[in-house]
Amino acid sequence: MEELSSIYRAETQIQIAGPLKIPGGMYAIKEGEEVVLIDPFELPQSEKKALEALGKPALILISGWLHVRDAEAYRKRYGARILANRQAAPKIEIAVDDTFGDGERLPGGLTTIEMPGTLPGETIFWREEGKGALIVGDALWNLHLSECGLLLGTFMRLVGWPEGFGTMPKLFMADEKRAAESFQKLLDYDFDQILVSHGQPVRSGAKGLLRVVIENL
């Protein structure tokens, strides 16, 4: 697992349909003797041991209804509780232990930021510690589409997926105007990193980069 300012990241290939896959990341934050996980998937044995060395996974946060992944397996293995946004919870195919809304403080030093206008219940987690970081599910991407293969990469390019850092395609936004307002709201927070699920994390200068993207929405 890669450490990013006391936030740990693991990567895998997420299967989306048949043989089609996209790069995906999960995050772990140490909280005392326990660990908070965001959008977890099953890890190879070596990384599983590295995760367990941090502490016991006690809480799982789901950033959006498309990011359930292997949360249930972690609950069965470690007894971890699963939390999701209350708007996303009805769309999730597993039971959640509790829900959260906008602006709530959660373990791991995280604050929830709802993203109305993107996907139902889509939530970004802000961590204030250090220079600040946003941990993102599907609202923001930093992916080179060639990493998705020729067929999928071509399709994603045609429907407006960003090449590199950018927002989710407008085609998939529930309400473009509200989504633009949600992205603008992110600039009210202090952060230097944006830790995306899909693609490489923006390790520094992220707020300035996001400001440029928002100006072009």
Please say if the pLDDT value at position 19 is more than 90.
Answer: no
Most confident stretch, 108-122, 144-158, 159-173? 108-122
Classify 2-215 by CATH class.
alpha beta
Please say if the pLDDT value at position 182 is more than 80.
Answer: yes
CA–chain centroid gap for 214, Å, is 19
Query: What's the whole-number mean pLDDT along residues 164-172?
Result: 93
Please say if the pLDDT value at position 39 is more than 80.
Answer: yes
Please say if the pLDDT value at position 166 is more than 90.
Answer: yes
At 102, give phi and psi (nearest 5°). Answer: -85, 140
* pLDDT given at position 159: 87
Cβ atoms of 64 and 114 closer than 8 Å: no
Cβ atoms of 31 and 14 closer than 8 Å: no
Q: Is 181 helix (H, G, I), strand (E, B) or coil?
A: helix
User: What's the mean pLDDT when you consider all of the chain?
Assistant: 94
Helix (H) / strand (E) containing 210:
helix 206-215
Please say if the pLDDT value at position 191 is more than 90.
Answer: yes
pLDDT band at 167 (very low <50, low <70, confident <90, very high): very high
Instruction: Write the single-letter amino acid at 130.
Output: G
Domain ranges of the chain: 2-215
How do residues 21-30 score in pLDDT, each as one tens digit?
Answer: 899 999 999 9
Looking from the CA of 18 toward its CB, the CA atoms found within 13 Å total 2
* pLDDT given at position 80: 97
Q: Output the six-digit token pair for 102.
A: 């906008």
* pLDDT given at position 85: 98
Least confident segment among 6-15, 49-58, 153-162, 166-175: 153-162
- Prediction pTM value: 0.95
